Amino acid sequence: MCGIAGIVAFNEQTPNGFHSIRQAASCLAKRGPDSEGFFTDEHVALAHRRLSVIDTSNAATQPLTDPSGRYVIIFNGEFFNYQEHRERLKSEGVVFNSESDTEVLLQLFIRHKEKCLDFVNGFFAFCIYDKAEKTIFMARDRMGIKPLLYAIDENRLCFASEMKALLPMGIVKDLDEVSLHQYLQFNYIPEPWSIYKQVKKLQPGHYMFFNIHESENILEKKYYEIVRREQEKKYDYESAKKELRRILDDAVEKRLISDVPLGCFLSGGIDSSVITALAASKVKNLNTFSIGYKDEPFFDETHFALEVAKMHGTNHHVFKLTNDELYENLDEILDYVDEPFADSAMIPGYIVSKYTRKEVTVALSGDGADEMFAGYQKHKAEWMVRNKMLMKPAVLLLASLFPGGKGSREGAWQNKIRQLHRLAGGIKLSPAERYIRWCSVMDEKEVEVMYSRADRREYERRKKLLSNDIDGKSMNDILLSDMKLVLRGDMLRKVDMMSMANSLEVRTPFLDYHVVDFAFSLPENYKITSAMQKKILKETFKDELPELIFQRGKKGFEVPLLKWFQTHLKSRIEDLWLNDKFIKEQGMFNPGSIATLRQQLFDKPQGETEARVWALIVFQNWWLKYHSAK
């Protein structure tokens, strides 16, 4: 796991013309604390920051050049099945100078060019430069686990693992108004867009392959996409359970390859518990890690994790934190966010990564299962809307009896009221409109009251793209959309950002493409029914996990934001982030709507008040640290 950056000049440069590449690399130091390396010639400057995981020797240092000196690679990620290809290549006469997966990938590219991607099972973003042909090949993994951002102008292409590494290269910081609208709506910016018009994110399952002297022909090309195949009915239910266990077990085993200490995140939910159970069957005294809240019993779920750890004999670590300890990490977290991103679960995500990194360098997680197997509350709500027509009048009546202003995320009862009003609001919409609404923290009209500068036509174009897979025929349309919107834009971004801020590699077995392809070959009733969500996952592993795990409800990874806003952060909210004078000088938001939200926060919070304030705090901190800074 590493950080990469590069500049591709369409006109020849002197090595001094690439001076910003070293500054870009320094911005990626946390992604790769073990070493740094550079390559430059008259056309290309490449930088690599290394977190040593496979082959920790100097032989695997990057940028890595093949024995002929023609090809240079920088690689971020892991290639889990590299050993089988290494042996095959050796039988064909290839001599390797290291034990690294990077060298195997480079040799596959030399032989197969873009088809090398067909051989790779892993997560990655990489660039290969062919000095003889003056070509650049850049690719990103199938699911988008590892990021790769790029910016193109008439003179060059710049790319990096993080936005903060692009800034020293002098990219144009022209704010994308539609992206800001989307950020306020979702709390993150959907891919492939970014906060800046010039910067795009290479899409998952895509690559670029171009000649430096033909820069007008730079295009992204698709090599993989998730396809729904539930109509094939390949597996009956019992056969599907056996196949799920087999391929998931194989995915876990592949991700246990490491030359450094390894463990598992264990929240006590189904997903991380399944991964832990499979990993513990292969690793004796497996390290597992949980985070809990001393001051917030409603949010604390560590007792579930402890039951799983006991059952599988893991070496379990529990980090019980107070609100003060959570708050002490806040500025570090905010300052690492180099593009607006406001999923508050990044706070515990950062802290569990921070504590986990003290024990191991690699951790397995359960990310991706909710999106594939219908684990979110909105999936249950969507199933009800599609299959329980008679319940609609009852929901609307109930919502009228409980004013929406009484709902919030700050307690069990308040959260139920909040969810009731979201359900009632969605019932009236079409499936595509409902999907976008239930993915949103603020609806479109609420955003426009606060921020009205986005081009409406471009916003509608993007919205249609985000809901393009919704056909209403099967719940798999919702799940596929979540894989493209929520998983990529929110969940994977959060995990990558917060783990890399602590130099921790996180591996996600559920997102092995064999598991994903299998999941989207299953009919919806294998995943969700009136009685159960994630049905096939739970029933496949019911004998390998404590019964208590299956009885718990889903809460998510929440933090007590409202208490912080009304205590620790109150002065900064009033005097800086949401200050009337600053808002007017900034010229971004409607001062009246911000003033109303600020007053609501301190007088009578309701609905999603704290989430909206948090989104503004993150944006304002980003604006001051990255956007307006010289």
Cα–Cα distances (Å) from 437 to 123, 182, 194, 223, 429, in that order, read 31, 12, 21, 31, 9
Q: How many CA atoms lie within 13 A of 316 on its CB side?
A: 24
Catalytic site residue 439? Answer: no
CA dihedral 585, 566, 416, 545 (to 10 degrees): 110
Token pair, residue 244, equals: 């799920």
Token pair, residue 471, equals: 């056909």
Helix (H) or strand (E) holding 263: strand 262-265
What is the bridge-based pairing of β-strands 287-293 and 315-321?
Answer: parallel
Q: Of 99, 83, 184, 255, nearest to 441 (Cα)? A: 184
d(CA 506, CA 523) in angstroms, rounded, equals 30
- Non-local (6+) Cβ contacts of 360 within 8 A are 260, 261, 262, 263, 287, 504
Judged on CB neighbours under 10 Å (0-12, 13-18, 19+), 487 is: buried
The C-alpha angle with vertex 41 and arms to 39 and 44, in degrees rounded to 5, equals 75
d(CA 250, CA 245) in angstroms, rounded, equals 8
d(CA 133, CA 124) in angstroms, rounded, equals 24
d(CA 510, CA 365) in angstroms, rounded, equals 9
d(CA 578, CA 559) in angstroms, rounded, equals 21
Q: Of 263, 363, 348, nearest to 300 (Cα)? A: 348
Q: Are 263 and 288 in contact (CB under 8 A)?
A: yes
Token look-up 């320094």 returns 26
d(CA 11, CA 27) in angstroms, rounded, equals 26
Please pick, among 2, 116, 158, 439, the residue that the annotation labels catalytic.
2
Helix (H) or strand (E) holding 416: helix 412-427
DSSP, res 409 = S
Specify which residues 290 forms β-bridges with.
Answer: 318
Annotated catalytic sites, by residue? Answer: 2
